[in-house]
Structure 1
Amino acid sequence: MSAWHGTRALITGATGFIGSHLVRRLTELGARTHVVSRRPPEAEGRHVVDLTDAEAVAELVARVEPEVVFHLAGEVTGVRDPATVAPTLAGNLGATVNLLTALTGTPVRSVVLAGSVEEPRDGQAPGSPYAAAKAAATGYARMYHALWGLPVSVLRVAMVYGPGEPNLARLVPYVTRSLLRGQAPELTSGTRLITWVYVDDVVEAFVRAGANGDAAGHALDIGTPEPVSIRDTAELLAKIVGGPARPVYGAVAARPLDRAQRSDVEPAARVLGWRPVTSLEEGLRRTVDWHTSRL
């Protein structure tokens, strides 16, 4: 019998890309999933809650009494605009603090937060309001663990791709669908290095982090050891799709502070026994097949 059988698992961001895959996997393992959404309808196992409302979050935690919490909800944007500071602060840092506060002192056995590969390292300035809010949330998670013993960990997830990605403007679905339609996707110079990771591998990392308290207090990179340039990724997609269309590089300006992404997966291997198992080519083939079936 699965160790997850009957476990009350609360998942925020459950309707998002990673969240929907995670809920499906936890359900397969026998967990009693409680999903959080900002939109109705509310039904059994589904809770409509604004996570920026501290009182509503406290009521949610008291009602569900979760044993494991996965916090994936957030305001995700790479836009570099002062107007995005307030919403990313509230949607990422404020919501996270509300949840951590509500869980402190409860018998929850594991809390897993979705961090980001975009979080700055080694004294770098954050590259976007989103990156700044995510980095601050990681800092608060460490504080809640150190001061109040909350069993919280952070998985700093790299660039996730795979079937079911709802944001068709992101690189892999955009390039894939353009090529399948015989259109030339317009990209930056393509030199930026990206750390890709397949969605099923990410879900496995979350399941392992939530299974027990071994990850508590850690911030772990969930990615792949070797980054791949945007150009090489797009060319691999063009090879998989086939056809005459080819990406056009240099048609779009790069965003300020778009840095190379790198993930050190060794800590996750030691703490969780986790490593990515899906190669980029295999993951992209599965993704192309999924989009092909829906065009």
Structure 2
Amino acid sequence: MWQGIRALVTGATGFIGAHLVRRLDELGAEVHAVSRRGTDRERWHQADLSDAAATAELVAKVRPEVVFHLASEVTGVREPETVAPTLAANLGAAVNLLTAVTGTGVRSVVLAGSVEEPSGGEAPGSPYAAAKAAATGYARMFHALWQVPVSVLRVAMVYGPDEPNPRRLVPYVTASLLRGESPELTSGTRLVTWVYVEDVVDAFVRAGADGRAAGHVLDIGTPEPVTIRHTADLIADIVGGPGRPVYGAVAARPLDRTQRSDIEPAARVLGWRPVTSLTAGLTKTVEWHSKRV
């Protein structure tokens, strides 16, 4: 399916994006990667997708058959000054890209949504969640009004090797424990839904393959959430050593809610289910970090 297919991947230097680019390369796709900072790699484009003209120029140049939109400003910060940056990076960029591909004959567009998006009439818990939820709404509108073959994969908490943000929970706890330190955390009672990065890549590849996901908003996660405490203790057990997590040392963020993913729609539409258990995924992640700490 993928041999010679022109695939555009935005956010290609990000966690999921980098793994997805590698997978598409392996499948034989003609991968055009996009990031804010340039590289000397072939078919690598530098563009600011919050700029509508630059986005339109990029799409016209690449003429993609499949688009994976992962470019994002990922932050859990609850401060007013994060509203404008997350609005531009997570909503403006998505709208610019959807506008640019409308009427081009693109076969499939897959947007990365988030498990943080509110449901059931809840208020968004952060500027990031609000922007992501709005982007999902616009994607549904573009599909309904102009038949853009777009789907949204609402991804849970992704973890795995090569995570570039050391402040996120899994790399922070793992690196601290490998150094013999005790990571300082909240009470650890919050329930979150984890999903291994290669399982996420599987879902994106399936969603982009034949357009069957078009018009759908699908959760990509695992069926049962676990507590932060369970996750951190599991990492500590895998690492061994003297360090143990310290709970209650950090205040919880406001409006941090339980995360849940309903993966049955993804199973029906994509034939996708996660295959990596939390223990197996964290073991692989600890092995990766142990070679670098």
> Which TM-score band applies after superposition, normalised by the shorter structure?
over 0.9
Q: Structure 2: how far apart are the matches of 1:110 and 1:40?
A: 25
2:265 is aligned with 1:293: no
Query: 8 Å contact 1:226–1:262 — kept in the other structure?
Result: yes
1:220 alignment partner, SS class: strand
Letter in 2 for 1:213: G
Q: So what's the TM-score if we normalise by structure 2?
A: 0.99
**Residue aligning to 1:94:** 92
Alpha carbons 1:177, 1:291 under 8 Å: kept: yes
TM-score, normalised relative to structure 1: 0.98
How do 1:109-128 residues align onto structure 2 when only pairs under 5 Å count? 109-128=107-126
- Number of aligned residue pairs: give it: 293
Q: Which residue of 1 aligns with 2:14?
A: 16
Q: Is the 8 A contact 1:42 1:48 kept in 2?
A: no
- Report how far residue 230 of structure 1 moved: 0.2
Cα deviation for residue 235 of structure 1 reads: 0.6
Q: Which residue of 2 aligns with 1:263?
A: 261
1:106-150 Cα shifts (integer Å, max 9, x gaps):
110000000000000000000000000000000000000000000
Q: Distance in 2 between matches of 1:142 and 1:53?
A: 22
Within 1, Cα distance between the matches of 2:137 and 2:120?
14
Between the aligned partners of 2:66 and 2:163, the Cα distance in structure 1 is: 25
CA distance in 1, matches of 2:25, 2:266: 24
**Corresponding residue number in structure 1 for 2:2:** 4
Residue of structure 2 equivalent to 1:85: 83
Write out aligned runs for 1:230-249 (5 A).
230-249=228-247
| Consecutive unaligned residues in structure 2, runs of 5 or more | none
Corresponding residue to 2:70 among 69, 72, 77: 72
Runs of 4+ in 1 over 4 A off after TM superposition: none
Superposed CA RMSD: 0.7
Unaligned runs of 5+ in 1: none
Q: How far apart are residue 42 of structure 1 and its match?
A: 5.7
Q: Is the 1:97–1:140 Cα contact (8 Å) retained in structure 2?
A: yes
Secondary structure, counterpart of 2:49 in structure 1: coil
Q: What one-letter code is carried by the residue in structure 1 that aligns with 2:24?
A: L
* Contact 1:116–1:155, Cα closer than 8 Å, also in 2: yes
Report whether the alignment pairs 1:135 with 2:133: yes
User: Does the C-alpha gap of structure 1 residues 267 and 164 become closer, same or farther in structure 2, counting only changes over 3 Å?
Assistant: same
User: Matched residues in 2 for 1:41 and 1:132: separation?
Assistant: 32
CA distance in 2, matches of 1:37, 1:174: 25
- How far apart, in 1, do the equivalents of 2:182 and 2:168 lie? 15
Partner of residue 161 from structure 1, selected from 159, 174, 189: 159
Looking at structure 2, the residues matched to 206 and 68 of structure 1 have their Cα atoms a distance apart, in angstroms, of: 11
Shift of 1:41: 3.8
Cα separation, 1, equivalents of 2:218 and 2:36: 28
- Measure how far apart 1:75 and its partner are: 1.0
Render the CA deviation track for 1:200-236: whole Å, top value 9, x for unaligned.
0000000000001100000000000000100000110
% identity of equivalent residues: 78
**CA deviation string 1:190-209 (max 9, x = no partner):** 00001000000000000000
